[in-house]
Structure formats: structure tokens, C-alpha cells
A and B are shown apart, each in its own frame.
Chain A
Amino acid sequence: MPAQNGVLPAKCTRCAAELLSPVVCSGCQSIYPMPSGVDHFQLLGLERTFRLDEARVKASFRALARSVHPDHFTGASGEVAALATRLSAAVNEAVAVLSDPLRRADYLLTLAGGPSAVEVREVPGSLLTEVMILREQIEEARSAGRNDELERLRATLSASRGAALETVAARADSLPQASLEERREFRKLLNSIRYYDNLLSEVSVDPMHAAKTTHD
């Protein structure tokens, strides 16, 4: 076993090359089971921060995905092939979380000790009124068939969501030092983004439908 309890392994037990990822040897391409406690950032070899470079996340993911994908272990024993499948699942999960800003922030909060979305369900005080008004406006615009108004509401919502995400970005990296109260506020902020997302999915247009009308 090359690693224990989240400590990155130093050397591959098969070829003694340095392990750049906790699960793959860069020298002989041997794969290792996930050491317990390895987080998504460590798995992908990325710094634990909210401000990740999308291109770097993608590049790390692809390099690792190539090394652990079960298609490259067809000739291997059943055990190794099964390990490759499990590792691929872990790598896929890691990249899915890290490449989505909302999920990434949520994950950073979890690493900092929570609270979870089940523990804190509230949103910032002003949001409920705002959402109620927006919902009414959406319904009115829809029943009146006013696409321009829907489009305007969509823009408003996107802007509000963007602003909330800005705040998230500003606070996410200081979560490890944050007090419980500050972390609760952070959770509420994340909850508010989910509210905006729900509303946004209500005003979204079917791309195919849009294409058809422009064509007619």
C-alpha cells in the first residue's frame, strides 16, 4: 500500500518512481487503490482553492482519466480492471464537483466542516421576497406571451446569480478559518444560488424551438 490516511505516497512500490497522483505512478503507469482521506483536489493534483483555472482542471482530469480508464486495462486481471473502474468513477466525481463553481464551493464548505444543506435550509432574509416577486413577474409575462419580458427577467436573474457567486468566490478560500456563524452564512448564500437556478430553469427557452421560429 503506497499511502495511508491522506498522506501522499512518495514512491511507487513497483518501479520506485515518484507518484504524482495518489493513484497512478508516472513511471510504470501502475494504478493504486484510493488512499482514504484523499480529497478531490489532491486526486487531481490541484491546489485546494476556489479559484481554479478551468483549463488546468480539464487537463489534469484528462491526463488522469487516460491513466485509469478501464478501457486501457482490458488485458489486466479482473481485480485490476475493477480497480480501474472504481478509480475512474472517483476521478469523474472529482472533476464534476471541481468544474462546477457551485458544487466546488459546496465541497469547500464540507471540507471546512459544514454545515450541510440539510442542516441549514434558510436563505438570506431579503431573498424570499425577491424570489416571490420574480416568480409572479415570470408567470405574468408567460401568460401574456411576452417573450421580451421573459428575456429581461432572465437577464436580471443571471445578474443576481452572478453577484451571489462573486460573494461566494470572495469568501470560499477563507472558509477553513471561518467561524461556524460565517460558515452558516456561506451555506445560506449557496442556498440562494439554488433558488436562482430553479427560477432560471423556469424562464429558459428550448434551443430547438428557438431555432425553428427563427427559421420560419
Chain B
Amino acid sequence: MTDPRDIIVGIDLGTTNSLVAYADEAGPRLIFGSAGEDDVLLPSVVAFDAASGRVTAIGHEARAHAVEQPLTTVYSIKRLMGRGFTDLGDDRRRLPYAIERLAHSDGARDVAAVVIGERRFTPPEISAIILRELKQRAQRHLGPAVHRAVITVPAQFDDSQRQATRDAGQIAGWDVVRIINEPTAAALAYGLDRRERATIAVYDLGGGTFDISILQLEEGVFEVLATNGDTHLGGDDFDQQLIQLFTREIKEQFGLDIDSPAIKQQLRTLAENIKKRLSSEDLAEVEIGLGSGRTYRRRIERGEFERLIEPFVERTISACGRAMKTCSLTPGDINQVVMVGGSTRVPYVRQRVAEVFQCRPYTALDPEQVVALGAAVQGSVLMGVQRDVLLLDVTPLSLGIETLGGAMGKLIRANVRIPCQATETFTTFQDGQTKVKINVLQGERELARDCRSLGVFELTGVPPMPAGIPKIDVTFLIDQNGVLTVSAREQRSGQAAGVQIIPHHGLTREEVRRMHDESVAHAHEDMSAHHLIDVRTTLEFDLNKAEGMLRRFGHLLGQAERASLAEELRALRCYAAECTDAAALNARREAFNRSTIPLAERAMTAVLQTSGGVAGDEVDRPATASTTGGAPTEPAAQRR
């Protein structure tokens, strides 16, 4: 087996669920959680304790808290990744937990943060909690040295969102060797065994994002011809339509405004369930108790639901059209449409896709698992296990700079194959100017203010010369991960100019490092707290058992021996009440158990002599009733 240090796992960090998978020569497979082989989806939900800001639950358990603790249960954090507080818009209203602009010393930056009591968590920190949970899963299966991962992102993610994802991985202690696009990953999982040439469309509708990618597959080459989509379009929007419907009708019928986060959360859960039910049935019924004997009842037919979601589905179809236009293809050129993402389970979505592509959508692979499986395949490619695979992806958005007058000057166009680079020459407009600021943008719009600013890049160390004389070549390189790096060189001197990046919506390297260190400290704290409880429980059991033996068989020991054991027992009880160091307490517990061996042996002999060896049970049973935890192996019982 491969050295765990070399293993590269694949992670699908989803809006709704996250998964981790691993691939070797035998192919990719999902890594399951503690509940068994079916436990592969980890809901991307984290529950916190409001007072301490500690994580109380992750995944299914956290999701179960969402209704009782809407303010401290964080879900859909992917929607906030790499985005500023000011550009959240609708999300701020929709999400029940509090979000604010993170306080920074520099006013230029705008990073959104989730408010939990006194603490503030940036989206990468919350994603890191999910990623750390996946890391534990991976380590349980593949060994503790596993630390390298491929993480997937929606193809439409911009640079800030990709950086935020990578930051999250680093905070969780992953070495993020590669970021790949979700539809591309899906194609990898799907097309690995295909040898014949095919053009496929990957239609990926998740909880919060939509991607359409057109790929050409041929002998291990996975070439993305075009990609399009929307980072704010997904199954969450379908739920939202139902929620809005219920809210409006409850207002009309009962004059009630629904503003409590708990009821909102309840509605959300309800909407999700109805959506799922209408995927297999034609009719669903809702009943919501509103207190004081009032009940809101509603029947929803599938057709009505479909009319509600139609505008959103049509937006996905338009994006498909734009992608096809980019690569000059028509639906007839597409051999197969692969469905990815949980929201493609909605029959209306499948129906529309079948109509426009004029073929039956391909659903042989579980749409919720295929991305993680593909990421694992990419992991094996990077490990050198899969040698003949070549992934050729494109950049989803045009990259440019703000020019005089506030226009967007495009340097790299959307749908260009990556890695790619462009060089632009800059100069100064004041005599003796030694710094040049460049506002770097991503987007398709004509005006800088309508595009997304990735940050201001400041060139430093420009030789002081008259205005317009220095010529600084600035190279914008988008790497295979779709992540931008900028370098600069003064033409005349050939000297590299310094490039300082002030990310608009991101974290600095130092912040990521600090968050990682903090998270390790917290994880350690949480783990030792957990461990301490375990040791205390076991100790309690051991002490009770010893006490019982002492009471029943103490007379078999000498007086001094008996007194010393009783004293030891009392002292350890006091110590346990105060001790917070799990390891130290466990050491004392083990020492105590060794000193009770003579008593246990004598008790055993006595019991065997009096009842012919059938009363071992009696020895084991503690005299006091309050036992907890499982029984540690007991020498007397073993001998039986």
C-alpha cells in the first residue's frame, strides 16, 4: 500500500453535503464515517455553543439542532466563501445566523464573518471545521499521516472564492495540492474507463451553485471546451420559493408575520422535505401549527411546484446555451449529458434538460457522490497512480484591470485554457513615483464597478524617474487551479518589482496561519475535554467496583492493607473531581487498578471455594448502583 504521507484524497466541499474519497489502482471509493458504510455524506453544518463559541456538533447531529438553535447552527457557508459583507445581498436575509463585516485595521477590506456569541468566524474557518472532520475520517481509514487533498469548487468560482477554499483547507491542516472544478471532477469519475471519443455536457445543480461544462473526452484527455453557470443558483432557491409561498399565505390567512429564526428554520426543513417528496410523488401536504389552535394547511401538486421553480430552471438552460455558443456546438453535438448534484433529482430539472439536449440525462452515477469520486481520481493522477490522464480546464471568468475612466480592460478572456498568462506594461503618471496601484478585476461586464475586484496589487520599488518613463511589465498568471498570481519586472533594469496584494474579500497569509494554529489548539482542547470525560467515566466504574469488593471481601486483607486501599480510593476520588489532565488521571487510574489486584484475587478464590465456581458474576457486579461505561476486562472473569 502507498505510504499514507503520499496519499492524496479527494474532497467535495459542498453547500449542503461534503464527502471525502480515495482512489488507488482499483479505482475511487468513498470514505465513510463512524456510522458505517452508508455514512458517506457529511452535512455541511456546524453547531456552536453560543456562550463559549465551541463547536458542539458537526454533520447530521448539527443539522438536527438547526430548528432549536437557528442562531448558532451554521449551514450553507459555501455561499459566503470569498465574499464581502456588502455583496451578500439576499443571503444575509435568508440565513438565520448573524453575519457581519469583520473588523479590520485596514478599511479597504471587506470580509464577511458569522457571529457566534462573542466570537467571529470567517467562512474559511467554518469550512475548515467540516474539512477537519473529513480529515479525521480519512485518517481513520488511511492512517494518521494522510494530509494531502484535492478540493473541488464550482467551476464558476472566482479567484477570491478559490483562495478562500484553499485557506479553509490549510486552516484544517490539509496540504491542498489542487483545486479542481466540480463538473470536471464529475467527468473524471464518469469517463475514466471510456476510450472512445465523446463530447459530454456536465449539468451540475447543487444546493447553492450551478455549473454547466462541455467537455471532450478522448483517450485519457479531459478537455473542457467551455463552462458557464451561476454561483448563486441551486436547490436552496427551490426551497426558498416554497418558504415564500407559505410565509405569504400564513400572513394572508392569519395575519402573522414569520420573523422568528426558529420558525423560519422549521419552514426551511419543511420546504426541503416537500421538494424531496414531490420528486417521487405528485402531491404533498403541509401542516404547520401556529399556536393558539391555529393550523396552516396546504396541498401542493407537483405542477404547482414546477411552476414555482421554472424561472430558476430556465436560468440554468440559458447558461447551457451560452456555454454551447462559446464552443460553437449545438445540442445535437452532445453525446451525453451527465447529471451532477442533489438538485438534479428533481424530475422537472431532468425533464427540461432532456428536452433541450434531446437526449436522456445520464444518471448512472449517484449525482451526490460523483464529484468526490472524481476528485479522488485527480488525487491519484497527482500521486502518479494514474499516468495517462490529462486534465485541460478553462478559466470561467475574464480577468482584467481597471483602466482610466473606470472601464474593465480585459487581459485574459473567459473560457481560455489554463494555465494561461498575460503581460501588460504599466508606467507612472507622476515624476518620481515609486509605487503603482492596479485594481485587478474578474467578470464579463464592461465597467469596472460591475465586475468583481479581486484586490489591489501594489507595485513597489519602481525606480524614481520622470512620469511615464519607467516601464513595468506585469504578468498575470492563472495557474491550473484557476488561481491568480501576479509578478512584475521593470523593463530597463530587469529588476523584479515587489507586488503586494491587498485582497478585497480574502485573508492574508498570516491570518490563515494564525487560524490554523488556533484551530489546532481548539481541536486539541476539544479532544482532551472529550478524553477526560471518557477517563472519568471509566474511573468511576473502577472505583465503584473496588469499593464493592472492599465492602464484601475486605476482611480477607490485612488491616493495614485494607486501610491503605480505602485511603487510596478516597484520595483518587478527590483527585478525579479536580483533575483536568486526562493522561495524568488515566495513569493514576491504572496504578490504582494494579493495587487492587491482591484483593480481586483473594475475592475470586473465596468465591470459588464457597460456591464451586459459578459466582464469578457476583465478584464483577459492583455493590453501588451507579455504574456507567463499559466493563474493563477483569482478571477473575478471564480465568473462568
Residues on A facing B (Cβ under 8 Å): 62, 65-66, 69-71, 74-75, 85-86, 88-90, 92-93, 95-96, 204, 206-212, 215
Contacts and interface: CB of A to CB of B under 8 A. Distances in A.
11 contacts: A71-B382, A74-B177, A88-B419, A88-B480, A92-B419, A207-B329, A207-B330, A208-B324, A208-B356, A212-B355, A212-B356
A60 to B, nearest CB: 14
Contact of B420 (A69, A92, A209, A211): A92
Given A65-B392, A74-B382, A211-B357, A86 B480 contact: no
B20 interface: no
A95 B419 CA distance: 13
Interface of B: 8, 177-178, 221, 317-318, 320-321, 324-325, 329-331, 355-358, 378, 381-384, 390-392, 416-421, 477, 479-480
A62 B320 CA distance: 27
Given A70-B419, A74-B177, A92-B418, A211 B356 contact: yes
A96 to B, nearest CB: 7
Given A85-B480, A89-B419, A215-B355, A62 B321 contact: no
Of the listed residues A65, A89, A92, A93, the one surrounded by the most CB atoms of chain B closer than 10 A to its CB is A89
Contacts of A211: 330-331, 355-358
Nearest to B394: A92
A13 to B, nearest CB: 24
Contacts of A93: 420-421
Contacts, number: 81
Given A69-B480, A207-B329, A208-B356, A96 B390 contact: no
A149 B110 CA distance: 52
**Contact residues of A: prevailing secondary structure:** helix
A96 B477 CA distance: 16
B477 A89 contact: yes
Given A85-B479, A206-B321, A212-B317, 4 more contacts: A69-B391, A204-B325, A210-B330, A215-B355
A95 B421 CA distance: 14
A66 B421 CA distance: 19
Contacts of B381: 71
Contacts of B384: 74-75
Of the listed residues B177, B418, B480, the one surrounded by the most CB atoms of chain A closer than 10 A to its CB is B480
B419 A62 contact: no
A51 B480 CA distance: 31
B170 to A, nearest CB: 16
A204 B356 CA distance: 18
A200 to B, nearest CB: 11
Contact of A66 (B178, B325, B390, B480): B390
A93 B411 CA distance: 13
B356 to A, nearest CB: 5
A154 B479 CA distance: 38
B529 to A, nearest CB: 38
A71 B480 CA distance: 8
A210 B318 CA distance: 11
A106 to B, nearest CB: 16
A99 B38 CA distance: 48
A93 B317 CA distance: 31
B477 A209 contact: no
Nearest to A210: B330
A94 to B, nearest CB: 11
A69 B480 CA distance: 9
Given A74-B177, A208-B317, A208-B331, A86 B324 contact: no
Contacts of A212: 317, 355-356
> Which 4 residue pairs are nearest across A and B when measured between Cβ atoms?
A208-B321, A89-B419, A74-B382, A89-B421
B420 A207 contact: no
Contact of A85 (B317, B329, B356, B419): B419
A215 B358 CA distance: 9
Contacts of B330: 207, 210-211
A138 B477 CA distance: 40
A85 B382 contact: no
